[in-house]
Amino acid sequence: MSRFCIYLGSRDGRNPQFAEAAGRLGTELARRGHGLVYGGARVGLMGTLADAVMAAGGEAVGVMPDHLVEREQAHRGLTELIRVRNMHERKARMAAHADAFIMLPGGIGTLEEFFETWTWHYLGLHDKPIGVLDTEGFYAPLLAFLDNTVEHGFLNGRTRAELFDAGEPASLLDALEARLSASD
C-alpha cells in the first residue's frame, strides 16, 4: 500500500465541484488500496476527503499540531491522528509518512505546504511523485505561471515536467502510480 499525502483546503470553497472531486479522490484512493496522509481536519475539503477514504474502507492518517487539536478542528474518526507540536513538525511527519503528494484546491497553507514539498524534491531530499488535481481549472493560472517560469529561465523544464497535473482524480492517480511503479 502506498500512502498519498494530500494538501487541500480546510474550507469547502464556493464551487461544489471541489468537494465532489475531493470525495471522488478519497474513494478512488481507498478502492486502489492506497492510504491517505493529510492535515487531520474534520472541516472543509479536508474532512470530505478523509470521510470518503474511510467510507470506502481505506486508511486515513491525520497529522495536526496541538493548537489546532485544542481548537476542535481534529477529525476524531480517523485511522490515526498524530499530534505534533507545530506546523514545521507537521509537514515533516506528513512527508515522512507519504509515498506521493497531491495538491487539491486550497488557500495559502495548501500552497505553502505543496511548494515546500516540491522544493524538497528539486533539492533531492526526496524522489516521491508530486501532482496537482486541477479541478474545474482552479490551478490553470498557477500551472500557466509555472510554464512561464520555464519560458523565462527561472525553472528548468525537467523540474516542471516532474509535476503531474490532471483534471480528474483517476487520471492523476494513474500518472502518480506509474511513477511509483517506475521507482520500485
Q: What is residue 69's predicted lDDT score, i.e. its pLDDT?
A: 86
Q: What is residue 70's predicted lDDT score, i.e. its pLDDT?
A: 75
Cβ atoms of residues 37 and 51 within 8 Å = no
- List, in order, residues 6 or more apart from 32 with CB less than 8 Å away: 173, 177
Q: What is residue 73's predicted lDDT score, i.e. its pLDDT?
A: 85
Q: What is residue 98's predicted lDDT score, i.e. its pLDDT?
A: 98
What does each of the 184 residues of the chain score in pLDDT, given as a tens digit? 899 999 999 999 999 999 999 999 999 999 999 999 999 999 999 999 999 999 999 999 999 999 988 776 899 999 999 999 999 999 999 999 999 999 999 999 999 999 999 999 999 999 999 999 999 999 999 999 999 999 999 999 999 999 999 999 999 999 999 999 997 7
Cβ atoms of residues 74 and 62 within 8 Å = yes
Residue 151, C-alpha cell as written in the block:
519560458
CA atoms within 13 A on the CB side of 131: 28
Q: What is residue 183's predicted lDDT score, i.e. its pLDDT?
A: 79
Question: CA–CA separation, 17 vs 15, rounded Å?
Answer: 5
Q: What is residue 71's predicted lDDT score, i.e. its pLDDT?
A: 75
Question: CA–CA separation, 60 vs 49, rounded Å?
Answer: 9
